[in-house]
Structure formats: C-alpha cells, structure tokens
C-alpha cells in the first residue's frame, strides 16, 4: 500500500502585534523645558534698560525742578526788602533814644512816657519783622542773604535786653529822678524835691528788672537819703551863723555822690544800647536784598 504524503500542517494564526505606546516619563518628572526664543530675551533686556534710563531721567528732572523752584525770585527779594524797610523805618524813629540816655537833661513825665512808648513800638516791630523774614524765601533760599540775616538775628537777644532796660528807665525811673532839682542851697526848700524823688524811686524799685536800673535805684536812694541828712546839717549851720566846714564838706560830697551815680548809670545804659545796636546789621541785609533783586 502506497503511503499517502502527510499534508503540511497549516500555520497557526498568531495574534497581531500590539502597537507601540509612546514612552512615558517616570513619575515626578515633567516635560523638559522649552528654550526661549533668542529674540524675546533681547527685547526683555532692552525693556529693562529703557525703564532704568527713564527712572534716572525722572529723578534728575525732579531734582532740577526742586532747585529751580526753590531758588528765590526777584519778587521774593523785593518782598523781603520791603518788609525789612519797615523794620528799619521803625528803628530810625527810636534810634536817638536807643543809643543815648542822659540824666543831665530834665524831661517831663509825659516826655519820658512818650519815649518809652516809641521804644516799645520799635521792639515789637523789629522782633515781628525778624520772625517774619526768617520764613521768607529770599532768606531761606539764598545762603548769602541768610548769612547776613543770621548776624542780625544773632544780636536780637542783646537788642531786646538793651531796649527793655531803656523802656524801664524812661517809664519808671526818669519821671522820678530829675537832676535839675538837685542843687546846692541853703534853703530848707531844697529838702522837698529830694524827699519826693526818693519816695518815688522807693515806690518803683520792686518793679525794676534790668540789672543796671536795679543797681542805680538801690544806690541813688541811699545817696539821696544821705543828701537829705547833709542838707539838714548845712541849713542848721547856716541858720546858726557859725560856719562849719565839715557840714559844708558833707553837703558837697553827698551832692557829688549823686551825680557820680547818675553818670555811671547813664554810661552803663549807653553801653548796653551799643551792645544791642543793630543798625549795621540792618543795613547789611538791606544792601544785599537790594542788590539781589536788581541784578537780574
């Protein structure tokens, strides 16, 4: 029997291959960054530089504007000069009373009070004027003007001390003390004005504040009391008809003592006035303000 050939075994079907899946990044890792475009980076740098330049220009502009706006104008100088002229005019009205005081000339109570009032007005005008000027742009914004103004302001304390002493002298002492009533006389009538002066001065001594005025009132009241005693002895000597050189010497010495005290007081008041004198400083500030307002 012939053997039949074995038929070939048909191939077994195979399952189709699974499609490839995209590779997954390991857990916790993102996608790699995308590099920025080169042109965008350049634009960012240019923008930053432009911003910085703009900021610098703004700051410079503010500084320039501040300097320009803070600098005094012609009107500022003119306004300050006008204010200072008012101060100077007021000072000139009282300058004679401020720089000179004398006990040699007789003056009524009304005259003395008038001088005291003038000095009070001057004091107020100058102090108010200095205060107002210290806030004005012509002073605060100009170093040259400010330097001269500070010299004027630096004498303000001495000025006030001097003028306060003179106001006190004219208003309280001058009406009570009149050297024209002090005279060598053999008459009992010479006692009356001396006693009146001493009584008046005793009445104001507690109100005296100025050191020179206070010392004067203390010294002069004591001297007037001694003078009263000397007058009484001198009048008694003359009435007795017997000359007594010691009585006359005491009388003359007491009279000279009063004049010495009065003259020393006048000199002290004059020296105080000179220390508080502000004419030079006023003129200096007026001069530079006038130059500044007309130099443009």
**Residue whose C-alpha is closest to residue 278's, from 63, 74, 84:** 84
Residue 148 has pLDDT above 90, yes or no: yes
Quick: pLDDT tens for 45-69. 666 676 767 667 666 555 544 444 5
CA atoms within 13 A on the CB side of 295: 9
Q: Which contiguous run of DSSP H or E holds residue 224? A: helix 211-240
Instruction: Look at the block and give the residue holding tokens 């432009």.
Output: 50
In which domain, by residue range, is 94 found?
73-294
pLDDT at residue 207, rounded to an integer: 93
The 3-state DSSP class for residue 32 equals coil
Residue 111 has pLDDT above 70, yes or no: yes
Task: Provide the terminal-to-terminal Cα distance of the chain, rounded to the nearest Å.
Answer: 146
pLDDT at residue 5, rounded to an integer: 43
- Residue 18 included in any domain: no
- Residue 231 included in any domain: yes
- Residue 52 included in any domain: no
Please work out, in degrees rounded to the nearest 5, the angle formed at the alpha carbon of residue 38 by the alpha carbons of 33 and 41. Answer: 90
- Residue 11 included in any domain: no
Quick: pLDDT tens for 6-35. 443 444 444 444 443 444 444 444 445 445
pLDDT at residue 27, rounded to an integer: 45
- Residue 251 included in any domain: yes
- Residue 39 included in any domain: no
pTM: 0.70
- Residue 213 included in any domain: yes
Q: Please give the radius of gyration of the chain, using alpha carbons only, rounded to the nearest integer.
A: 50
CA-to-CA distance for 147 and 113, rounded, in angstroms?
37
Q: Is 78 exposed, middle or buried (0-12, 13-18, 19+ CB in 10 A)?
A: middle
CA-to-CA distance for 141 and 144, rounded, in angstroms?
9
Q: How many domains does the chain have?
A: 1
- Residue 175 included in any domain: yes
C-alpha 57, offset from chain centre: 39
């Amino acid at each position: 029997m012939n053997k039949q050939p074995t038929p070939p075994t048909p191939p077994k079907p195979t399952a189709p291959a699974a499609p490839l899946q995209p590779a997954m990044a390991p857990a916790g890792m993102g996608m790699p960054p995308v590099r920025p475009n080169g042109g965008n980076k350049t634009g960012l740098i240019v923008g930053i530089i432009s911003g910085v330049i703009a900021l610098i220009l703004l700051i410079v502009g503010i500084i320039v504007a501040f300097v320009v706006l803070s600098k005094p104008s012609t009107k500022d100088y003119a306004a300050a000069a006008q204010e200072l002229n008012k101060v100077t005019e007021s000072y000139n009205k009282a300058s004679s009373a401020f720089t000179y005081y004398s006990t040699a000339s007789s003056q009524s109570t009304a005259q003395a009070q008038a001088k005291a009032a003038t000095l009070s007005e001057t004091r107020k005008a100058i102090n108010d004027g200095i205060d107002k000027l210290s806030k004005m742009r012509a002073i605060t914004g100009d170093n040259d003007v400010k330097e001269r103004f500070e010299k004027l302001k630096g004498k303000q304390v001495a000025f006030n001390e001097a003028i306060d002493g003179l106001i006190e002298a004219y208003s309280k002492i001058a009406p009570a003390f009149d050297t024209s009533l002090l005279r060598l006389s053999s008459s009992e009538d010479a006692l009356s004005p001396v006693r009146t002066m001493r009584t008046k001065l005793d009445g104001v001594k507690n109100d005296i504040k100025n050191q020179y005025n206070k010392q004067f009132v203390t010294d002069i009241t004591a001297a007037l009391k001694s003078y009263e005693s000397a007058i009484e002895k001198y009048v008694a000597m003359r009435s007795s008809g017997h000359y007594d050189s010691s009585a006359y010497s005491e009388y003359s010495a007491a009279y000279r003592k009063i004049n010495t005290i009065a003259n020393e007081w006048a000199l002290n008041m004059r020296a105080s006035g000179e220390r508080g004198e502000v004419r030079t400083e006023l003129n200096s500030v007026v001069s530079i303000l006038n130059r500044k307002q007309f130099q443009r």
